[in-house]
Amino acid sequence: MPLDCRPEELLIAAIARLLRGCRNIAVGVSSPIPGSAALLARAESETPLRVELLESLDGNSFTRGSVELFDRAAQGRIDAFFLGGGQIDGQANINLVGTGDYPRTAVRWPGSFGSAYLYFLVPRVILFREEHSRRVLVPKVDFVSAPGVSAPEVYRRGGPCALITGKALFRFDRDRRRFRLESLHPGHDLADVLETTGFDFDHDAAPAATAGPDAATLEMIRGPVAREIAKAYPKFAARVFPRA
Amino acid sequence: MTETCCFLSLDELAAQVPDGASLALPKDSAGAPMAAVRALVRRGAKDLHLINVPTSGLATDILIGAGAARLVETSGVSLGEFGGAPRFNAAVKAGAVTIRDATCPAIYAGLQAAEKGLPFMPLRGVIGSDVLAFRDDWKVIDNPFAEAAVDPLLLLPAIRPEVALFHARRADRLGNVWIGVQGELAIMAHAAERTLVTVEEVVEDDLMAREESAAGTLPAVYVSAVAEAPKGAWPLGFLDLYPADEAQLADYARLARSAEGFAAYLERGCAPAVGR
């Protein structure tokens, strides 16, 4: 019998599973759900796991400012990071800049941040975007903030490993340059995901369901994880964990 | 120690930023000099070339909205939890400012080249992105030390801002500035021709006198002028000293959606009595 949990809690549990085996996870700004997942992965890890929350004053160990994140990534000291995108396409290219013709884009988003660099250097990049629609998941992005794959001569030790949305979890196959649907979140079906995804992807005829948190994990999320993430994201915590 | 620094009022400090200057600003969470930004708007600064180190938010949005900037070099401009940066977005769409999109470590690398007196700095990644495709000033070379047959490598020209401007916790009477763990402020100051700093407080102790405080201090040799500006990051929060003024930021995000609303905000928010 599946536990009654919020959609955010399902995402946190699912992302935390993708982080298993990591030793160092960094979480960028405006990322409360990935941040919570990283804290959950740390709480459940049997080996030491370090989490650097960029948004939080005392949640990271950088003593030279955020420049240190990029240096650590280049040295192989960061195992996992999260990126999003206003648009994401089937080759895992991401667009954080805008839609339409650059530079006078019809819609302008903030900008590429560290994506054009971290996507190449962090082994396990998880793409996270709650909105699952043809507006976001497009056949081809209008602007490549960071490419999903590179030519063989380009130095690249990292890249996309998964895409998780409000409806489904995909794995990215770097050799085939395609996403494969791994599981559907409870309450969503394949027909709907096919209808709302703008790019082609591989899938089973009857995809698995994304597993929710078990009772112990849910208790962990609503307890220590909720209290810790509230320091960096008080508004998020108040909304999602009202009783924490 | 030779006194290289001078103490100014906020408006005198803003007058030290010439029209047309390249101006480096830190991200909103690490010392955005909001009181000085208001002083720049009051003095009618114009044609600034803004360099966000490496991102920005309210500071850049207000300067663009007030018509003070002609160009913005950035890795991202956003109001964070309060949404997109409305005046930045509108100005880019209208072509009212030239946008030079970058990626965070590329801006740091350009400043680090300037710190070292070098013409450029190499950086991994970025190849194959449209960020690179639209930057005529960035180059890709073949790594001359490569073990592989070919190893394309990005080179970024040095970024030497005419002025760096930021807000910090404290300065001493000699102009040494405590920046703590905000190391990018040191990179900015080392790279810039001149550095202007607003501080929460001016203290009597010499920050360089003891190793514990000297380790987190930007020495006065890099600092051209200091202005005391208590709550100088308002309405943003500042370190553990004060939280963001959420009502004010929500108000800004709502009003600045239109040029008229932004003008109304300026009338109130940049009035001489506020933030001095």
Q: pLDDT tens, A74-123?
A: 999 999 999 999 999 999 999 999 999 999 999 999 999 999 999 999 99
Q: State the helix-helix crossing angle for B86-94 and B259-269, rounded to 10 degrees.
A: 140
Say what the pLDDT of residue B106 is. 98
What are the tokens at A75? 């040295």
Q: Is the pLDDT of residue B275 over 60?
A: no
The one-letter code for the residue type at A171 is: R
- Determine the average pLDDT of the residues in B187-200: 98
Say how far apart CA B77 and CA B79 lie, in whole Å.
Answer: 7
SS3 A34: helix
Which of A230, A224, A238 is CA-nearest to residue A40? A224
What's the confidence (pLDDT) of residue B199? 98
Residue-wise pLDDT for B54-71, tens only, equals 999 999 999 999 999 999
Do the Cβ atoms of B184 and A64 come within 8 Å?
Answer: yes
**Minimal CA–CA distance to B48: which of B204, B199, B163, B194?**
B163
Task: Decide if A123 is inside a domain.
Answer: no
Average pLDDT over residues B223-238: 97
Question: CB B104 to CB A143 under 8 A?
Answer: no
Q: What pLDDT was estimated at residue B268?
A: 82
| A204 part of a folded domain | no
Instruction: Give pLDDT, residue B201.
Output: 98
Quote the mean pLDDT of chain A. 95
What is the per-residue pLDDT for B228? 98
Q: Could you give the C-alpha distances from A197 to A73, A90, B62, in angstroms and in order?
A: 31, 9, 37
In whole angstroms, give the CA distance from residue B263 to residue B248.
Answer: 15
Mean pLDDT score, A199-223:
97
pLDDT, residue B274, reads 43
Least CB-CB distance to A115: which of B103, B132, B181?
A: B103
Task: Say whether A228 sits in a helix, a strand or coil.
Answer: helix
Q: What is the pLDDT of residue A29?
A: 85
Compute the average pLDDT of residues A1-30.
91
Strand A137-138: give its sheet, edge to edge. A94-95, A87-89, A137-138
Contacts of B101 in chain A (CB under 8 A): 97, 103, 111-112
pLDDT value of residue B5: 67
Q: Which of residues 103-162 of A touch B (CB under 8 A)?
A: 103-106, 108-121, 143-147, 150-151, 153-156
| A1 lies in some domain | yes
Q: Give pLDDT, residue A3.
A: 66
Residues 6+ apart with CB under 8 A from A81: A25, A26, A27, A28, A73, A118, A122, A124, A125, A126
Structural domains in chain B plus CATH codes: 6-103+161-269 (3.40.1080.10), 120-157 (no CATH)
The verdict on residue A26 lying in a domain is yes
Percent above pLDDT 70 for chain B = 95
* Mean pLDDT confidence for B228-233: 97
B81 in A contact zone (CB under 8 Å): yes
In this predicted structure, the answer to whether residue A185 has a pLDDT above a threshold of 70 is yes
**Count of structural domains within chain A:** 1
Lookup: tokens for A206: 């009857």
pLDDT at A59: 85
Strands B69-74 and B48-53: what pairing?
parallel
A171 touches A162 (CB < 8 A): yes
Confidence of residue A235 (pLDDT cuts 50, 70, 90): confident
Q: pLDDT band at residue B107, thresholds of 50, 70 and 90?
A: very high
Q: Which residue has the tokens 């180059």?
A: B139
Partners of B151 on chain A (C-beta within 8 Å) are 153, 155
Distance separating alpha carbons of residues A141 and A75, to the nearest angstrom:
30
pLDDT of residue A26 exceeding 50: yes
Report the C-alpha dihedral over residues B199, B204, B208, B211, rounded to 10 degrees: -100
Average pLDDT rounded to a whole number, residues B124-140: 98
Q: State the DSSP H helix or E strand holding residue A231, giving kind and residue range, or none if neither.
A: helix A226-232
Average pLDDT over residues A31-46: 96
If one compares B227 and B5, the residue with the highest pLDDT of the two is: B227
Q: Is B136 on the interface with A (CB under 8 A)?
A: no
Residues 6+ apart with CB under 8 A from A13: A5, A37, A40, A211, A212, A213, A217, A218, A221
* Cα separation, A35 vs A52, whole angstroms: 9
Q: Are B166 and B192 in contact (CB under 8 A)?
A: no
Count CB neighbours of A16 within 10 A: 25
What's the Rg (C-alpha) of chain A?
17
Mean pLDDT of B129-136: 98
Asked if B183 lies within 8 A of A64 by C-beta distance, the reply is: yes
Percent residues over pLDDT 90 in chain B: 92
Q: Per the domain annotation, does A140 fall within a domain?
A: no
pLDDT surpassing 70 at residue B4: no
pLDDT at B1: 46
- The pLDDT assigned to A244 comes to 67
pLDDT in tens, B144-176: 999 878 999 999 999 999 999 999 999 999 999
Q: What percentage of chain A has pLDDT greater than the value 90?
A: 89
Q: Which residues in chain B are closer than 8 Å to A97, comparing Cβ atoms? A: 101, 130
> Of A103, A71, A100, A146, which Cα lies nearest the Cα of B101?
A103
Percent of chain A as helix, strand, coil, to the nearest 5: 30, 20, 50
Cα–Cα distance for residue pair B198/B169, rounded to 1 Å? 9
- State the residue range of the domain holding A64: 1-82+214-244
pLDDT score, position B27: 95
B-chain residues near A68 (CB < 8 A)? 183
Main-chain dihedrals φ then ψ at residue A204, nearest 5 degrees? -75, 160
Nearest-angstrom CA–CA distance, B223 and A120: 37
Local confidence band at A1 (pLDDT 50, 70, 90 cut-offs)? very low
**How confident is the model over A132-158, as a mean pLDDT?**
97
